[in-house]
Structure 1
Amino acid sequence: MACSDPFQYNPNQVILDKNQQDLNAKNIARIQKRIPSDTVRFILMGDSQRFYDELADFVESANQQRDISFVLHAGDISDFGLTQEFKWVHEIMQDLRVPYLTVLGNHDLIANASTAYRKMYGDFNYSFEFGTNKFIFINTNSREFNFDGTVPDLPWLKQELANNPLQNNAFVIAHIPPFDADFDPKLEKEYAEILAADPHVNLTLYGHQHTFRNGTFYNDGVEYYLTTSMQDRGYLLITTWKGGYLVDRIKF
């Protein structure tokens, strides 16, 4: 018997080609090679899970949008946390005309998925800057860490927000919003207060609830936006400029 590729005998194995590793860092490098204009447009989508046909249709729709710099995946890339699911999603997302970045979802922590996610995409918490914007990605999947007080990492979030010498717009992106039952209730108030205390955070972005939703849920001036799942065939198209933003709901 001969086999040209590694033989996978366990669905929880993490076997990736080199071009399937460290994708967030690689895509940030691609984004930062672009020349930003005064106005930056990007897409927020999420909860791809097993909705592969719908995800392919999303890619076709996203590719028709004009002047998009990148796509943000708001988590739940996988459904059962299998490495093969991450690979299938990446194969489809590779057809995007622009780079894409991810944040960790709760389904991306099932079984051995945390190892697969780290190897394929990178750190659970990270940030980058583009134009007059800073994008901060943070793990908010508290339930998967037994509500132990470490997730989300609030000291890290404070540090990232403070490290903004150019006073750029600050966007915080996560999978689970703080008003959801899967977010650590002991950390909800402080999380919201950290965002509200920073004058550069006006908009923060999430997935998880499989519905479009938005509001200033803590009456503090910070707008929370949730995008729907791929199953529901929708995403958010966000346009931002220094000190402002516009959010459009797109159905495909």
Structure 2
Amino acid sequence: MKKTLILASLFLLLVPLVQAQQLCFAHITDTHVGGSTGAEDLIRTVNDINSQDDINFVILSGDVTEFGSDEELNEAKSILSKFNKPWYVVPGNHDSKWSESGNNSFVRIFGCEEFSFEAGGYLFIGTASGPNMRMAPGLVPHEQIVYLDSILQNMKDPEQPIIFVNHYPLDNSLSNWYKIIDRLKTCNIQASLLGHGHANKLFDFEGIPGVMSRSNLRAKDEIGGYNIVTIKQDTMFYAERTPGVKTHEVWCRIPLVNHQFREKENDYPRPDYSGNLDYPEISTVWELQDVSDIGTGLASEKGITVYGNAAGAIVALDENTGKYLWQFQTNGKIYSTPAIAKDKVVCASTDNNIYCLDLKTGEKEWSFATGKSIVASPVIHKNSVYIGSSEGIFRSIDLKSGKLNWAFNEVNNFVESKPLVYEGTVYFGSWGNTFYALNAKTGKLEWKREKYSNRMLSPAAVWPVAANGKVFIVAPDRYMTALEAKTGEEIWHSKEYSCRESIGISDDGKLVYIKNMTEGNVDAFYTSANEQKLAWECNAELGYEIAPSPITEAGNLVFVPTTEGIVCAINKTTHQIAWKYKLSNALVNHILPIDNQRVLVSLLDGKVLCLQY
């Protein structure tokens, strides 16, 4: 009895000591190494954190680099490796959207793009947030959701408090925010830490406290900054730190408590599909959920539909039923939209190879090895395959043999888009501020346009279109441009109608289509005019729209892709919305008409569907 009392007394003495223990860590985010001061600002922060013995570890919540290039990632890793304490990192949209490696290099250089660890009794979980290779709201990739599930379902203590880390807010700026929140709420989630907004800010994510940290960049100040986070007595304190100068007053206090979400009804908004009821004539012929995300468009011929996925597979489906026909596995993620001609499928992989497969069987006919990952899409013209790469090379390859016809070795930065072959010339843009025109037979440079001052404004994601001796492009600078096809001379360059990277052309070549980035409209312009002459405009109510996917056409309908998983069909005669149909909450990669009654659609979250109208 006496021994029991002594043990009980010791326990009571220890409880306040345990509660009084402090956990201290640094929250860095949006370092943007590769930007003007990113590396210098990060070096200063690393040195400052190393000088503070009371900081236990460091969390970096994304946008490690400015452009996601191998050079920038290696530089960032070199700086971060100088920490004298543990550090944990997840990628942000700048690391994943403009990745020349197709999101392979981040894992290769940093070892992973997710983390989980325990500290101070808390379980910290971090995941990547995308969007991978496509301009769109964030999307936690499928493999990251699988990872999150594996952690949550195998916790030793289901009541252990969790702090979640992601680059994006857990709101509709992340396409699948609800999938993450619903999973976290099955456990004892107590806070979410994030970046992206470059400012210190508090959030309420359906009852989950969220804390956004300022960017590490100095911006207009002389020195950048980060946050020192202290957890004590079930409260999390954030205080901004100016490296080498001082720690400022605490700017937020977050109570860390068990919110008992499992016992509460979830009446928060979720993606709304009720608008589909307005169009009962639209039906889903078949629907497939891939095992991975899909960042490619579709190609279909002779009843066989082909696409690539982020698990590295080139997949063929029966166009009429959606049933699997064959699958060819590569060793890298695929962001290359396949091309089909003469019973052959050509598609590139981030395993550095271009593949040619038999359309009916999926058996490899040839492969062409390159020096880097390929995220560009091929086009087949006559007997040649034309495709860009991430190594500064654009190639023409013989379709039958897989032998090189020619290589143009002067491409600035990497190529992402699908090229256009028009009247003997091949056209494409790169993420190096340049748009190129090469002789399709010889690969000789005919002209190039270097109009763009910032590489992120490059005409690199657009699939160019052409008619009446003109090449039409749109770019992230929100300009639509008409160029003389033979000379590259600028015919017109207009910002009157906002746009970004989505464009299309009518089957007869008379009209070129864009969607507005901010006004929510779809506009058609005459290709014959020597000025930006509007043919018609449809108030499509698209809202803020940044999807880079191409606009397509079949019969009397124009099909417009969106970032919110909606296919919008516009009547060419009335210039009004014919129908809108929501398929998902993720980016529509591609709408491929297969006749005047059906379209195939691929979406970034791994869905492939056939719609009948």
How does the TM-score come out when normalised to structure 2?
Answer: 0.32
Amino acid at match of 2:148: L
Contact 1:137 1:174 in 2 (8 A): yes
Contact 1:106 1:141 in 2 (8 A): yes
Q: Which has the higher helix share?
A: 1
User: Which position in structure 1 is the counterpart of 2:58?
Assistant: 71
Match of 1:216 among 204, 209, 226: 204
CA 61–125 in structure 1, closer or farther in 2 if over 3 Å, else same: closer
Q: CA deviation at 1:108?
A: 1.5
Match of 1:205 among 189, 193, 211: 193
Q: Deviations for 1:62-118, whole angstroms, at most 9, x for unmatched residues?
A: 233341111111111121222221222222223322122210111212221622111
* Equivalent residue runs for 1:107-122 within 5 Å: 107-109=94-96, 110-112=99-101, 114-122=103-111
* Equivalent residue runs for 1:150-189 within 5 Å: 151=141, 153-166=144-157, 167-179=159-171, 181=173, 183-184=174-175, 187-189=176-178
1:225 aligns with 2:219: no
The count of aligned residue pairs is 210
Report the secondary structure of 1:114's partner residue.
coil
- Structure number with greater Rg is 2
* Equivalent residue runs for 1:82-101 within 5 Å: 82-101=69-88
Q: CA RMSD in A?
A: 2.7
Structure 1: 5+ residue stretches without partners: 1-36
Contact 2:229 2:236 in 1 (8 A): yes
Contact 2:129 2:138 in 1 (8 A): no
Contact 1:44 1:236 in 2 (8 A): yes
Distance in 2, Cα, partners of 1:197 & 1:235: 31
The structure with higher relative contact order (CA 8 Å, sep 6+) is 1
Q: CA deviation at 1:143?
A: 6.1
Q: Deviations for 1:178-220, whole angstroms, at most 9, x for unmatched residues?
A: 2263x11xx2234233334422x211111111111112242x1
Distance in 2, Cα, partners of 1:180 & 1:234: 27
How does the TM-score come out when normalised to structure 1?
Answer: 0.72
Contact 1:141 1:176 in 2 (8 A): no
Q: Which has the higher strand share?
A: 2
Q: CA deviation at 1:172?
A: 0.9
The range that moved more, 63-72 or 233-242, is: 233-242
Distance in 2, Cα, partners of 1:189 & 1:180: 8
Report the secondary structure of 1:202's partner residue.
strand
Amino acid at match of 2:28: M
Q: Deviations for 1:9-46, whole angstroms, at most 9, x for unmatched residues?
A: xxxxxxxxxxxxxxxxxxxxxxxxxxxx9432111101
Amino acid at match of 1:210: H
Match of 1:126 among 115, 140, 145: 115
Distance in 2, Cα, partners of 1:113 & 1:132: 36
Identity of aligned residues (%): 21
Contact 2:170 2:205 in 1 (8 A): no
Structure 2: 5+ residue stretches without partners: 1-19, 219-223, 244-613
Amino acid at match of 1:168: Q
